[in-house]
């Protein structure tokens, strides 16, 4: 296994700079204007990112032009080769010195127009009129091979006008956490931002204690947030709201073009996507941890993975975030908060609506009232699928609730319980019995399940909905701790093991295990 030591950090595995490649490569630099080309094994490589930056063409008050800070001694940790392919970017170029220069912020590629976006937001219910990208630089946009427009952003790339006195840098730990979790979410079928690459910057970032620095290259449908709309609403900038709304419709909801009531249609579309998204989170035991309005993407993707975590033993009111002392963003509070955030979004659209104030309020209230319907439909349908139920009946919802209450009472591991259902439905009950200390309770529940499933649970549905592996909190912490000591192999193994979470793969059996008591992570922390 190739390794490279760079400023005290040893990069292990094929995602670094393999010595074999270095031996076989003849690298020659050639500058033609701003273009940099490399010849590796006789093949020409250019800065092959085809940017088309629509947001940078918005009015100046939407953003500030910035340049990423230079990383003193960047080392590549990992490139997401499959995602690079989706984006039409050559992964070998990304792994070359030229690519790492871009991923670390040391070179701005041809066609990029780096900016920091303006936005505001409610943070834990408290209004902050000006936030913005304080440690992230949007390099630009590209259209992927599927025809979808994607943002390319460097997170942890230094100060911006919105840094509020901070250094704009990121410790390497949060970079690795977001890489692991966002890619796991994608593999689980949850709409999410993605991770294209992780880089160790070779510098020390000072937080509570000195930490190695890192940069995440994040890919998103866009980085437009509810807080982006709030920023202009707070300034009574109706023109900007209209420009922003039209941009969102064009980019994310083109099917709404020509609607008689475009802003009501936009609100309805965002409400539905958020309802479905939060329901999907809850079905896999995900706790976002910081559902501030500036962390709600109007595209319907999961964004910002600071203090997020996954349930081990099930608990309705589980909170991980160290700063969420009141349980505002607990597992079972997520739909309530999602609706609260959507009310804030609706407020920003009111000035764009026609009619009297009462009529406008009535119109948006009618749309917001649909949230519960959208959420419950996805929530109960999704949980019914997890149990292999073919239909959702009147009794299904109460039974699902009662089952979750049982899991909480007995302190059953959420993921292991559901992953054991397939075997249990086939008559092999050893796995699920190992999760229950009270077998009498389990026998009663199994009888209820069999009755509700009618002709028997749908095995294909069970196995396609219930992952065997999730990014467990203690495994993420192990990967971060190992990386701090220079060993990235734990991180690579975790990413690889979560790439196909529904498969029975003996190579990654340890990733299926619930944490021992001493391994349980009870608190998570924001990367800032």
pLDDT for 524 equals 86
Paired strand residues for 154: 137, 217
Task: Give the DSSP per-residue string, 19-88.
Answer: HHHHHH-----EEETTEEEEEETTEEE-----B--SGGGS-GGGEEE--PPPPSS-EEEEE-HHHHHHHT
CA 291 to chain centre: 12
State the helix-helix crossing angle for 238-252 and 226-234, rounded to 10 degrees: 160
Q: By the 8 A CB rule, do 61 and 118 touch? A: yes
Q: Is 430 a catalytic residue?
A: no
Confidence grade of residue 165 (pLDDT, cut at 50, 70, 90): confident
pLDDT at 528 over 70: no
Q: What is the pTM of this model?
A: 0.91
Percentage of residues in the chain having pLDDT higher than 70: 91
Domain ranges for the chain: 50-220, 231-380, 390-465, 473-519
- The Cα–Cα gap between 119 and 138 comes to 14
Which residues are CB-contacts of 499 (< 8 A; sequence separation ≥ 6)?
183, 187
Structure tokens of 364?
Answer: 């948006």
State the helix-helix crossing angle for 238-252 and 334-349, rounded to 10 degrees: 120
pLDDT at 438 over 90: no
pLDDT for 454 equals 86
Confidence grade of residue 66 (pLDDT, cut at 50, 70, 90): very high
198-238 pLDDT per residue, tens: 999 999 998 888 889 999 999 999 999 999 999 999 999 99
Q: By the 8 A CB rule, do 150 and 170 touch? A: no
Confidence grade of residue 408 (pLDDT, cut at 50, 70, 90): very high
pLDDT at 34 over 50: no
Q: By the 8 A CB rule, do 294 and 131 touch? A: yes
pLDDT for 455 equals 80
348-360 pLDDT per residue, tens: 999 999 989 999 9
Mean pLDDT within 105-128: 96
pLDDT at 24 over 80: no
Quick one: which of 19, 145, 166 has its CA closest to 88?
Answer: 145
Which residues are CB-contacts of 129 (< 8 A; sequence separation ≥ 6)?
120, 231, 234
State the helix-helix crossing angle for 396-410 and 439-453, rounded to 10 degrees: 160
SS3 letters across 136-180: EEEEEEEECCCCCEEEEEEECECCCCCCCCCCCEEEHHHHHHHHH
Q: By the 8 A CB rule, do 310 and 524 touch? A: no
**Residue 486 phi, psi dihedral angles, 5° rounding:** 95, 0
379-390 pLDDT per residue, tens: 999 999 999 999
Confidence grade of residue 368 (pLDDT, cut at 50, 70, 90): very high
SS3 percent helix, strand, coil of the chain, rounded to 5, is 45, 20, 40
- Mean pLDDT of the chain, nearest integer: 90
pLDDT for 4 equals 45
Please tell me which residue in 294, 304, 324, 487 is annotated as part of the active site. Answer: 294
pLDDT at 19 over 60: no
Confidence grade of residue 36 (pLDDT, cut at 50, 70, 90): very low
Confidence grade of residue 103 (pLDDT, cut at 50, 70, 90): very high
Confidence grade of residue 40 (pLDDT, cut at 50, 70, 90): very low
pLDDT at 460 over 50: yes
- The Cα–Cα gap between 392 and 396 comes to 6
326-342 pLDDT per residue, tens: 999 999 999 999 999 99
Quick one: which of 249, 277, 261 has its CA closest to 366?
Answer: 261
Least confident of 26-30, 115-119, 500-504: 26-30
pLDDT at 33 over 80: no
Confidence grade of residue 12 (pLDDT, cut at 50, 70, 90): very low
pLDDT at 309 over 90: yes
Structure tokens of 159?
Answer: 């100060």
Centre a 10 Å sphere on the Cβ of residue 159 and count the other Cβ atoms it contains.
19
Q: By the 8 A CB rule, do 380 and 397 touch? A: yes
pLDDT for 209 equals 85
- The Cα–Cα gap between 59 and 42 comes to 44
Q: By the 8 A CB rule, do 477 and 490 touch? A: no
State the helix-helix crossing angle for 370-386 and 262-283, rounded to 10 degrees: 30
Mean pLDDT within 128-151: 96
Q: In this structure, what DSSP letter does residue 313 have?
A: B
Least confident of 163-172, 243-252, 297-306: 163-172
* Burial annotation 329-349 (CB, 10 A radius, 16+ → b, else e): bbbebbbebbbebbebbbebb
Mean pLDDT within 301-312: 95
254 or 454, greater pLDDT: 254
- The Cα–Cα gap between 188 and 79 comes to 20
CA angle (251, 255, 260) in 5-degree steps: 110
pLDDT for 527 equals 63
Least confident of 100-114, 133-147, 203-217: 203-217
pLDDT at 2 over 50: no
pLDDT at 35 over 70: no
């Amino acid at each position: 296994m190739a390794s490279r030591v760079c400023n005290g950090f040893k990069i292990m595995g094929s995602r670094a700079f393999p010595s074999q490649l270095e031996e076989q490569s003849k690298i020659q630099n050639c500058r033609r204007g701003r273009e940099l080309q490399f010849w590796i094994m006789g093949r020409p490589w250019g800065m092959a990112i085809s940017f088309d930056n629509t947001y940078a063409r918005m009015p100046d008050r939407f953003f500030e032009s910035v340049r990423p800070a230079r990383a003193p001694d960047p080392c590549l940790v990992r490139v997401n080769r499959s995602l690079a392919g989706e984006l039409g970017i050559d992964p070998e170029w990304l792994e070359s010195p030229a690519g790492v220069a871009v991923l670390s912020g040391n070179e701005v590629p041809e066609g990029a127009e780096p900016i920091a976006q303006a936005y505001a937001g409610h943070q834990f219910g408290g209004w902050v009129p000006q936030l913005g990208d304080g440690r992230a630089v949007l390099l630009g946009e590209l259209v992927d091979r599927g025809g979808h427009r994607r943002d390319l952003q460097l997170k942890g790339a230094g100060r911006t006008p919105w840094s509020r006195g901070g250094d704009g840098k990121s410790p390497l730990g949060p970079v690795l956490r977001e890489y692991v979790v966002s890619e796991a979410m994608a593999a689980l079928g949850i709409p999410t931002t993605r991770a294209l690459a992780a880089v160790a910057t070779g510098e020390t970032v000072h937080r509570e204690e000195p930490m190695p620095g890192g940069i995440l290259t994040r890919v998103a449908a866009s980085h437009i947030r509810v807080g982006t709309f709030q920023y202009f609403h707070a300034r009574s900038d109706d023109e900007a709201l209209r420009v922003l709304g039209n941009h969102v419709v064009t980019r994310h909801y083109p099917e709404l073009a020509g609607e008689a009531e475009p802003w009501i249609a936009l609100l309805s579309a965002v409400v539905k996507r958020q309802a479905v998204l939060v329901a999907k989170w809850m079905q896999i035991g995900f706790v976002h941890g910081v559902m501030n309005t500036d962390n709600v993407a109007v595209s319907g993707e999961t964004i910002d993975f600071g203090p997020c975590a996954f349930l081990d033993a099930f608990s309705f009111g589980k909170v991980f975030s160290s700063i969420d002392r009141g349980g505002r963003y607990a597992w079972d509070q997520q739909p309530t908060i999602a609706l609260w955030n959507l009310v804030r979004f609706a407020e920003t659209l009111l000035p764009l609506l026609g009619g009297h104030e009462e009529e406008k309020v009535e119109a948006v209230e009618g749309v917001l009232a649909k949230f519960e319907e959208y959420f419950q439909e996805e929530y109960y349908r999704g949980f019914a699928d997890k149990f292999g139920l073919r239909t959702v009946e009147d009794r299904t919802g109460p039974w699902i609730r009662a089952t979750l209450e049982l899991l909480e009472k007995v302190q059953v591991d959420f993921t292991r319980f559901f992953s054991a259902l397939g075997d249990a439905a086939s008559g092999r009950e050893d796995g699920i019995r190992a999760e229950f200390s009270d077998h009498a309770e389990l026998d009663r529940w199994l009888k209820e399940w069999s009755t509700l499933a009618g002709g028997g649970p749908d095995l294909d549905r069970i196995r396609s909905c219930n992952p065997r592996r999730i990014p467990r909190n203690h495994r993420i912490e192990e990967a971060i701790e190992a990386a701090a000591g220079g060993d990235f192999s734990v991180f690579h193994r975790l990413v690889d093991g979560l790439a196909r979470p529904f498969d029975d793969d003996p190579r990654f059996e340890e990733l299926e295990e619930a944490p021992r008591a001493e391994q349980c992570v009870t608190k998570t922390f924001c990367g800032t």
